[in-house]
Each structure stands twice: as C-alpha cells, then as structure tokens.
Structure 1
C-alpha cells in the first residue's frame, strides 16, 4: 500500500496546481475554459495578500492530488468557513483514500481555526457525489448556485459606475 502524505502547497507547486486544474477541467468537460496561469496562482496564493490556500497530496512522494480553499463567512453563524474551490485526485491515486485525506486536512484546518463549516459544489453528474455523501457532506437541495460572469458582470458593473457620476 502506497504512503499518502498531505502537505501545504508551496510556491514551487504552482505548475503542479495548474496541471491538476487543467486535468480537473478536462474531467469536467471544460478543458478550454482554464485561463489561469502559474503566475496567477503565485500572485494570489503567495503574494502580499493571499486569497487562497492549497494542500498537495503525495503518493510515495509524487504529487497525486490537491485541494484549493478560500475563506468565506457565514452571517448566520457569525463565523468564517472554508470553501473548497477544487478537489482533484489523479485517476491512478483514487483508490488509496487520497481525496478523503485531503478533505480531512481541510476539516482539521477549519476546526483548529474555529470555523463552523466547509462548503463545496459538485456537478450533478459527477460520480464523486457518492464520495461526498459517505464523508458526511449534505446536499443543500433548496439552495441553488448562481454566478455572474463575463458580459453580464461587466454590464452590471457599468450600471454601478453610471450611478456614481
């Protein structure tokens, strides 16, 4: 049985993180959607004001997966939480508990910091939904995700700017 090690990502992991993000995007049928660069990860993970944290999973010393999180805030709990933006484990490492160990490390960080929850989103067709259910995540059936991007984001921002003039 291979040894699974979880460690905090360091700046030198930016190329590995980008590779994992691209592999995840390919799995999610959005291979052409990745615009991120190593420099983006370097700036926003290790710059003067980091906006995310990442953990790297290694299988016998070789990177086999990662999880990238950022802090959110619950107005109802009055406490921060962690949002899992991406969790990815290479296909050949999935049978060794790598994903569970990554999420256990995220949960440990949340508990140590006094955070009250860990949130994530999963595509409706992703077979990992069963994995998340087994770990104890619960699907929030009443809450629907919404997102504002691209032209719609620019248009709404322009409305706000027009009101300032």
Structure 2
C-alpha cells in the first residue's frame, strides 16, 4: 500500500507467519483494553493455525512503522445472499496507544476497503463497542449503524445444549 501523507513511514501489508507472536500480543492488549484480559484464550500457536493452517478461518493485515508492527486488523470473509457477493467482517482492530492519532487506523481501514473493492466484495462491516472512539471515525467515512440488526451469540454450555449433548460428553 502507498504511504499516507499523515503518516509517511507507515505502511500496511498482509500478515506473515513471523508476525503471529506480535499479533497474539496485540489481541491480548485489546482484551485487556476492554477489561476482559482473563477471558482471552488466544495463544500464538492457535493463532498461527487459524491464520496459516490448511484451512485458515482468519486473515490479518498489519501496519508497520519503522519496521515495527503498530497496528493490526483481523478479518474474515462473509457472504451476502442479497448482494450475491462476499464481504469483509472485521473481527479485531487494534492500534498501539503510542501510534494512535497518527492515521494508522485509517491506513488499515483504507487497505481493507481497497482489498474489498479489488476483489468485488460489497461490504466492510464489524462491531464496535459503544465506548470506542472509532465509532465517530466510522460514521465520518460513511459507516451506518445497523440498528435493526441485533447480534446474538450462543456459546459455551448453551452451544452444547443446542446439540443435545451434555457438557461432560463433549469433553470425551
């Protein structure tokens, strides 16, 4: 990606296997930022498989400045039957505190937008906690809050219960 005039030495690239330990650090920092550090079960060996294994479920781009990774975006492809086209769901977005306010986040989002357009994807979406200052940046770039769509999650024991299995049976 071309450098941004606001941050001339920052560039974005797809993550490499060698970036996985740094990405795992940033995921933990994001969990800590949200006060959920103890809930984060991500380790770099797990992340390596999910990004670079035989059936990757996740993709990543990193922002580098002066040879150091200062930001990341973790994402995966979605699909819209109404658009009849894929899209991008942003799972995690993180910029180191010392790199914030320098355009790093915008550079990351711009690269994802370019990727989406170049690949014929019709959407770039994700969820943002209400206290995140990123919300105003998303709105300023045309982001619409999808008030009529609510996010629900079934996980843990509830997910097992839905299968009809007992939690002890699933562990065997």
**Fold agreement, TM-score > 0.5:** yes
Cα RMSD after superposing both structures: 1.2
When you count helix as a share of all residues, which structure comes out higher? 1
1:145-156 to 2 correspondences below 5 Å: 145-156=151-162
Given that residues 110 and 117 in structure 1 are in contact (C-alpha distance below 8 angstroms), is that contact kept between their aligned partners in structure 2?
Answer: yes
Hey, what does 1:35 align to over in structure 2? 41
Gaps of 5+ in 2: 1-6, 166-172
Gaps of 5+ in 1: 160-165
Q: Which runs of at least 4 in structure 1 moved beyond 4 Å after TM superposition?
A: none
Q: Deviations over 1:32-87 (max 9, x none)?
A: 11101111111111111111110010122211010011001101111110100001
Hey, what does 2:97 align to over in structure 1? 91
Give the number of equivalent residue pairs: 159
Q: Deviations over 1:111-147 (max 9, x none)?
A: 1110100110001122221121122211111111111
1:1-165 to 2 correspondences below 5 Å: 3-158=9-164
Could you tell me the TM-score, scaled by structure 1's length? 0.92
Find the aligned partners of 1:133 and 1:122 in 2 and give their Cα distance. 12
Could you tell me the TM-score, scaled by structure 2's length? 0.88
